[in-house]
Structure 1
Amino acid sequence: MIQIQRLEGFYWVARMGGYTRAVRAFPYPITQPGIYQQVKRLTEEVGVELFTRVGKDRMALTPAGRELYAFVAPFLEGLPHVARSLKTGERGGTLRIHASNLVLRHLLPPWLGRLRGARPDIQVRLFESAAPELARLRLGETDLLVDHLPELPHDVESREVGRVKGFIVLPRSHARARSRTVNLKQLEAEPFIGYGSDHHLLDLQLRALALHDVHPRQVHSADSAESILAFVAAGLGFSLVPSFQPEGPRAAGVVAWPLTRPRAEFPIHAVWLKSRQPAPLVAAAMSLAPVFER
């Protein structure tokens, strides 16, 4: 079995291009004969020359030496970083986050900007999901969910990181656009624009309408809040949409009123699997999560 010390001697001679310079660069005290013996024994073990002399104290790698160096260098150069991360608990890597379209567009950008500034060693992969991906979380296929969950399961940890409110939206050209309040019952005969692919959000919309005894006769579908607002701005109908903005969604050609009866507010939670100690990447992200105040 090849000893690490022999690979270490080989690495420094290859990196510095000679034995004298390798002695000066070595991370601990060692003599030139000591390094020479490490390389000599490694050469005997692999059975092929690793260096060729090109000057008084200049050594060049042979083709076999270049192949070995390409394998050894990343390992030895990465060891100090691994040792530091084990000591401090700050381990880099890839953090996988599944979130709804609304969260991806409005909540996550400033949050992830803070994370990138504090921990550039953490890479983030974002995935849009139409509904909370609890199955993926339990299977280990994602690390963090950020979404509205009607119920929080017992096997997860969570923290509220935001809250969205429901708003009635009408075209700015609508006859009631300048009214202080809007009665949903007065809009029942008009087309309603609902979520098409996200059945969870469409169900919330229709339940809110039903509480006002409103049952739309015609429903158009759109795949996102932005698409719904574009349809409304075009005069194709009215809708109910969630927004992080206290005054409601800001879109050209659209006016908004808060849905006050019932008061429609939905908490947004960051959710991760329950464990004795949170995964380091999740803990790093949550340390910079938005602080939501009711």
Structure 2
Amino acid sequence: MKAAPVSFPPLCPAVVESFRSDGSLMDLARPMVEEIDFCAMAGRLSRIARFNGAPEAGAFSVAQHSVMGTEALLNEGEDSLIAALFLLHDGHEYLIGDKTRPFQMMLAEMMDARFGPGTGFKIRAVIADIKTAWDEAIYAAAGLPAPSAWTNRMRSRVTGMDERMLCAEALALFGTKAVDWVKTQPRWAPPKLKGSPAKPWGAADAEFRFLDLFDRLIGIERRTGARALHAAHVATSDSKPVSSKTPTRQPRQGIGHAE
């Protein structure tokens, strides 16, 4: 299995400013191991709601999705490596947010309608490239094989559990009204869950459980080491705004920076 690269190509020529948790600015277009802080990841994922926050039961967080799916894999006898890969499979969302499937579908359909067939596919490909680039940095920081190095078995187990969790969550959170939609999806065996998605965890609980599972599967040394590397990177970065280091393209009217 090939080793993860230690450096990654930029996603675009321009600097894309985005806030870190401490309020400093990072360049979202420059994936790097030094930008990965698993503590910040757990916190942010615990505050990002799946299904765009639609369930009346409360916000079912990306962190809870990741933890429950990981525990289901372990309950089903999967090894700790595949479980760890699943735990971090949505890790990029702590940096770029959760772009829901309906939103991506609408965006692609509008691109096709306005700019011609095939443009929707291109925008989906760009979104996938952004996720993949940050996944490479995240898994490298965790000392795990990046998705580009996964075996077919690894990929099928992670993507399969993701789909199984989606259906289980929809049924638990939306009840009988979700049954017809679930019937349109591939037939998956229900995951062997510990608890029910119908009871969303609070953000603090989801954050704690994510970090606890990370420490058990990947190691507290990896978490603290990544945090120390990230802190050193932030501390040694130039105090000037990111945009002062590299020329940026002028934003279009009505579009701001970093928000």
Scaled by the length of structure 1, the TM-score of the pair is 0.19
Higher RCO, Cα 8 Å, sep 6+: 2
Structure 1 or 2: more strand by fraction: 1
Structure 1 or 2: more helix by fraction: 2
Structure number with bigger Rg = 1
Scaled by the length of structure 2, the TM-score of the pair is 0.21
